[in-house]
Each structure stands twice: as structure tokens, then as C-alpha cells.
Amino acid sequence: MITVATWNVLHRIHAENWYEDVSSRWPDEAARIDAVTACVAARTERVIALQEVSGDQLFSLRAALPSRTIHSMQYLRVPTARRHASVLRDPSEHLALIVEGPSREITAESFADDPGKGAIAVSAGGVVFVATHVTGDRRRAKQLARLAELASATPEYPAVLLGDFNTDRETVASSLGEGFTVADVPPGSLATRPRTSGAKSQFIDHVAVRGVPVREVVVEDSGGLSDHNLVRATLAL
């Protein structure tokens, strides 16, 4: 058995542009970055996928986790602050996969139709792990098809996709297609992306697998550090 996790940690500029409660709850971004890093450093999962990682956050994670490999990809797009100048020293945005033990990067790419979303894939322990952040509109169809290609590029290896898919479980499952299973959270679980309004699903962060049984899925409260909660899964590997 191994455990994996996925968490959208919320880029500061996105929080401020969209009036997220997180930015008012944490007026000092350096303190929030330290708290996110401390939370991640305390995790015991073999693989952790993070989305919306700022350059400042990535620097903090690398400094705090010297014994783990952090694979990262910087998006072609840099978020633009719309309300006031950003407090970030490095406002770039990244995907990250934090791996315990030996691993090798396979590919990292922004999606062709969105320079601010993409995927990074690594091989570890005979498994392909893919971290992703998918666009929340019609572009997701081609992006999910691309994710299925990445996860199936080495068919003899099982695959695990972790990320913010910006849509519900059923849509992800049908788009990835036959051979993939998208883990379902237990009834009564916390929302992965809580909302107080709107019709969009509150369960948009997923663990999808090919050739790997999922034994347990848990949504853990992020304690207000992000607008997303962390999703943890146990895999029969």
C-alpha cells in the first residue's frame, strides 16, 4: 500500500484577483507560505501533487524538503495582479509533484489551448504519476484526452492522475475513458472546493487511476490555507 495526495494551494494573485476569503484571512502572504510548507512537510504520502504553486511557495518547499524530490513545471503564463501590485517576489505559477524515494521526470507541458494549465508526469516505483490542473470550460475535453494519452504512454506501467480537474467526477471518468477509474469520496465528505454559491460542483479535485486499486479516499480540511481541501488516497501497490 502507498498513499498519495493532491492539493490546490491557491496562488496569491488568483486569490486577490477573485476576492478569495483566503487573502483576507492571511494578509501576510509570507506567513501563509510558511504555513502551507509546514503542512506539506508534515505529510507522509509517497507522492503529493500541488497546483497553483507560486515561485515563492516553490522556493519555500524546496528549502524545507531537502530529502524529497520536487518535480515542477512553470507555466508559460504568469498571473497578472489586477487590483494592486503583487507582494510575491516570484509571481510565476507552477505545478509540482513531491516524491519520496527515486523518481524520474517523463514530461512536463502546458496544455496547447491554455498556457496557464497543464500536466507533469514522473515515473516512481514502476508507476506513472501525473499531476494536473485542468481548465474549467469546454477546453477540458481535449485536455482530459491528452491526460489519458500521458497516463497510457507506457501501458505496462499503472498510472495515477492527481489534480484539480475543475469538474465533477462523472465528467472526468467519461472523458478519460475505458480503463480509468476516478475514485469517489465517501458520502458526507468535505467538499474538495467548498462554495457558497453557484452551480459548479464542489468536488473537483480527483484521484484517477489505471491498473491500480484504490482502497480509501479522504478529504482533509485545509484549515483556511487555501480555497481547496486536500484529497488523500490509499492505493493497493
pLDDT, tens digit, for every residue of 95-138?
A: 999 999 999 999 999 999 999 999 999 999 999 999 999 999 99
Tally of domains in the chain: 1
pLDDT for 105: 97
Instruction: Tell whether the torsion through CA atoms of 15, 162, 144 and 150 is positive or negative.
Output: positive
Contacts of residue 24, defined as CB under 8 A and 6 or more positions apart, other chains included, come to none
For the cut 80, the answer to whether the pLDDT of residue 19 exceeds it is: no
The mean pLDDT value for 149-165 works out to 94
- The H or E element spanning position 198 is none
In this prediction, what percent of the chain has a pLDDT beyond 70?
Answer: 100
Instruction: Give the span between the Cα atoms of 190 and 194, in whole angstroms.
Output: 8
Residue 65's contacts (CB-CB under 8 Å, 6 or more residues apart) are 40, 41, 98
User: Do the Cβ atoms of 75 and 120 come closer than 8 Å?
Assistant: no
pLDDT band at 78 (very low <50, low <70, confident <90, very high): very high
Cβ neighbours around 46 below 10 Å, total:
22
Q: How confident is the model at residue 165 (pLDDT cuts 50, 70, 90)?
A: very high
| Mean pLDDT, rounded, of the chain | 95
CA distance 214 to 3: 10
Q: Is-contact 205 212, C-beta < 8 A?
A: no
Task: Indicate whether 198 pLDDT > 80.
Answer: no
Give me the sign of the Cα torsion angle 38, 40, 41, 43. positive
- Residue 168, classed as helix, strand or coil, is coil
Determine the Cα–Cα distance for residues 157 and 23; give it in Å rounded to an integer: 41
* pLDDT attached to residue 199: 78
Q: How far apart are CA 221 and CA 224, in angstroms?
A: 8
Q: Which three cell numbers stand for residue 26?
A: 492571511
Query: What's the pLDDT band for 37 if we cut at 50, 70, 90?
Result: very high
Name which of 152, 154, 56 is nearest 96 in CA terms: 56
CA neighbours closer than 13 Å in the CB half-sphere of residue 12: 25
Looking at residue 10, which CATH number applies to its domain? 3.60.10.10
CA distance 142 to 162: 17
Domain with 38, as residue range(s), is: 2-235
Q: Write down the pLDDT at residue 20.
A: 79
